[in-house]
Amino acid sequence: MTRTIGIFVFPEFQIMDAAGPIACFEIAGRMADNACRLVVLSQRGGTVASSSGIVFDTVPATQAGPLDTLVVVGGNGSRTAMDDAATITFLREVAPRVRRMCSVCSGAFLLAAAGLLDGRQATTHWRRAEQLARRFPAITVTPDRIHVRDGTVWTSAGISAGIDLSLALVAEDLGEDVARAVAREMVVYYRRPGGQSQFSALAELAASGDIFAPLLDWIRANLTQRLTIEVLAERAGMSPRTFTRAFTRAIGVSPARAVERLRLEVARERVENSTTPIEAIAGDTGFHDPERMRRAFVRAFGQPAQAMRRLA
């Protein structure tokens, strides 16, 4: 059985959002007797330029024919595309006719604008997750997930996460052995360890405080230690008082809050992506006491670690 996979692009799309899934489905099709047929779509058809200037030749959306799965990419042009009435109408009308609707990165904003994520869990690039949640309050945004499936709708995080999403779709259609073989061919993880927080936490904290970037790296690698102000100040070569003022001014949060945030995000990765006992995770991430970690999870995420594991 050959399934037709549509890749929907728009002007200023991110080329990797499209190229990653295209490569994944192409390789899967070769490995499984032409199981996948690919078609690149746009609203009006013809050549469409990515944000890099590279152009794709596309088929008009209205001439796509029957589709099994539609993958909507993201990119700088998503802000304009989500305000294009014809694009949103097409997505809204095609959704009941396909088996799966999917998005990569900020493509989630197009699905959201079409009302396809209302009442669902979804994710997008960590940098835009808060914006998605604020603009579309009917969506439960899970910013740390690499990809999220809610019924027939799949969303994924930034850029390379489109490959993770596509491998999951291949596994559902053709089995895990084929998906693993595709991952080996592409030289990527079959299931990537951890969530987006491994990229977002340090990036966000260090973004305005490059002077402390090495210290933040060291903290994340040494979470089981007693990371007091005195320990951190000595590591930074400052007095505790000077360090606290300089760190808070540069990073935007106190040293204690930064340490807790890094502990939380590493702990959350392990809660959602492993079967390690909660008590062990608390010890390995420096919380030590499971109750202390539970209170920190409730403050940061609105629910304890056990509840988040059940949802993962």
Q: Please identify which of the residues 24, 36, 102, 105 carries the catalytic annotation.
A: 105
102 part of the active site: no
Q: Cα(246)–Cα(206) distance, rounded to whole angstroms?
A: 13
Report the sign of the C-alpha dihedral through residues 232, 282, 207, 298, in that order: negative
Beta partners for residue 3, in sequence order: 36
Q: Cα(128)–Cα(122) distance, rounded to whole angstroms?
A: 12
Maximum Cα interatomic distance, the chain, rounded to a whole number of Å: 68
Residues identified as active-site: 105
